[in-house]
Amino acid sequence: MNDEYPLTPQQISNYQRDGYIQLNDVFTGEDLAAFRDAVEAGVKEDTKNLDPNRVKGSYEQIFIQCVNLWHRYPKVKPFVLSPKLGRIAARLMGNSVRIWHDHALFKEPHTGAKTPWHQDTPYWPHQQKMHQLTIWVALRDATIQNGCMSFIPGTHRMFDIEPVNLGDPQDLYAVAPQTKGIKPVTCELKAGSVTIHNGMTFHYAGPNRSDGLREAIAIIYMPDGTTYSGTGHQTTDPLKLSVGQRLDQPIFPLVAN
């Protein structure tokens, strides 16, 4: 789990050019099984009191989301804070990196709706919005049928685009007409493989049309030195931060220099 992943200069160059990359077999064998079991157990515990017959809101129809499992479940913590993942993030980003947060993203069979095209960083209360990245780990195989990830290459250079309302999404070309003509790339993953995308890269995941749960966890990194913008967010609201304050609190640990 803590060994070095053999990231090549070409892979780093491809990420910086396209704003995303796929890396295979980052977790295998016992490490993959332990990671999957820990996240599954955390999601099960977090959702055990939800009424299965409740009327789901539009956002909840997309996926079951559990944020910052590493805070609550000791078996998840070593994977989210993994030096292996931290070093991958730091090399791709070109900065020392801190954890922003994790979130499990489980799409339910047949009912898990599509995740609309969107950028991530506009939703986050960061004053700097260029280098954040997400490592999206497939805990089980992610396929076109069950909702794997797709990306629009080069869109990490597109700033000042209106954030997409995930619960009531606008048409991509209405929000970002400059994406017309850029062919999306879909990334099917074996369990234990990952996609990594810049927080400004437009990405999408299809609906889950399979008979099984699509299980993934996203771990989000930000550059050390990132400061607070003052925008509300569930991760920072309890901290009562001042605008311009560095996000270097214990809940945002430094994981790679």
User: What is the pTM assigned to this prediction?
Assistant: 0.95
Q: Residue 59: what pLDDT?
A: 60
pLDDT of 98-133, one tens digit each?
999 999 999 999 886 888 999 999 999 999 999 999
pLDDT of 188-216, one tens digit each?
999 999 999 999 999 999 999 999 999 99
User: Minimal CA–CA distance to 109: which of 210, 15, 232?
Assistant: 210
DSSP labels, 163-209: PP-TTSPPPHHHH-GGGTTPPPEEE-B-TT-EEEEETTS-EEE----
Average pLDDT, the chain: 93
Q: Residue 165: what pLDDT?
A: 79
Residue type, 25: D
The CATH class, in words, for 9-47+60-160+168-256 is mainly beta
The dihedral region occupied by 54, where left means phi > 0, alpha psi between -120 and 50, and beta the remainder, is: beta
pLDDT of 52-88, one tens digit each?
766 666 666 677 899 999 999 999 999 999 999 999 9
Question: Where in the chain are the domains?
Answer: 9-47+60-160+168-256
